[in-house]
Amino acid sequence: MPEALPTDSIIEVQGLVTHYGDTKVLDDVSFSVKRGEIFVIIGGSGCGKSTLLKHMCGLIRPTAGAILYQGEDVAQMDETQLGVMQRTIGIAFQSSGLFNSMTVGDNVAMPLREYGDMDEQLIDAIVRMKLGLVGLGDAQYKMPSELSGGMRKRAGLARAIALDPPLVYFDEPSAGLDPIMASGLDALILALRKLLGLSFVIVTHELDSIRVIADTVLMLDLGKIIFLGPLEEAEKSQVERVKQFFERRPDEFIAQRNIV
């Protein structure tokens, strides 16, 4: 039986193990995310970051371990229970995940229409409010193709918070954005946390963003946690792989051959 969830935590991962075939992708991963926290997951390509995020969202099941979300083990839920749970979380995708055939407003309204029981007038008001919160108040009737990359990310975030979830998962929010757009998205994440009391679990490799938004940093390497703690401790860590990340140093193999 998994241990009880601490009262100040919104989600806790306990002893998570995952295999893809014979390959162990996550190896005894355990941590908790506090309410109102911005929890950032980092690590090299293929270290298990996205796999861990998918487990926490209930999109894939682990080989072993527990994922306690508001007292319930996501790893043991059936399809009906998972559907109910997923209505209470927000997921913002790396590519924004917007449907190009629908207006921005209809994209944001989609979870309201799918999961809610409300009339179109109320849905329209909520859509306008959520788009206003992310600075897209005039984009409701535009198509996603009319938006810049940063605006699409913000529209995806508006959809993620449409149902007022307490917890939002964000996969690579700054990927593909120029520094100004990325900085604006960082500021928006901080503002939404303050305004709505949201908790965020964010997968990213963008060092500038990490230094602005992160409360707690978890670093994976070969499926294991090699660092877990506050951002300020991560930047002072003597763990070589963590130091390498925060100092932006290339691997020795690449550095020795001047392939940079």
251 pLDDT above the threshold of 80: no
Give per-residue pLDDT as tens, 41-54: 999 888 889 899 99
5 pLDDT above the threshold of 50: no
Closest CA to 92 of 211, 25, 189: 189
Strand partners, 29: 16
Q: What pLDDT, on the 0 to 100 scale, is given for residue 213? A: 96
Closest CA to 116 of 130, 103, 102: 130
User: How is the beta sheet containing 64-69 ordered, strand by strand?
Assistant: 23-34, 9-20, 64-69, 72-73
1 pLDDT above the threshold of 80: no
Give per-residue pLDDT as tens, 148-162: 989 999 999 999 999
Q: What is the share, in percent, of the chain residues with pLDDT greater than 90?
A: 78
User: How is the beta sheet containing 224-230 ordered, strand by strand?
Assistant: 89-92, 167-171, 199-203, 38-43, 216-221, 224-230
Strand partners, 43: 220
Q: What pLDDT, on the 0 to 100 scale, is given for residue 252? A: 63
Give the CA angle between residues 165, 167, 171 to the nearest 5°: 115
Give per-residue pLDDT as tens, 74-122: 999 999 999 999 999 999 877 778 899 999 999 999 999 988 678 999 9
- Yes or no: say if 188 and 154 are a contact pair by the CB < 8 Å rule: yes
Scanning the chain, the segments in alpha helix (DSSP H) are 49-57, 79-86, 104-115, 120-133, 149-160, 179-196, 207-213, 231-236, 240-246, 252-256
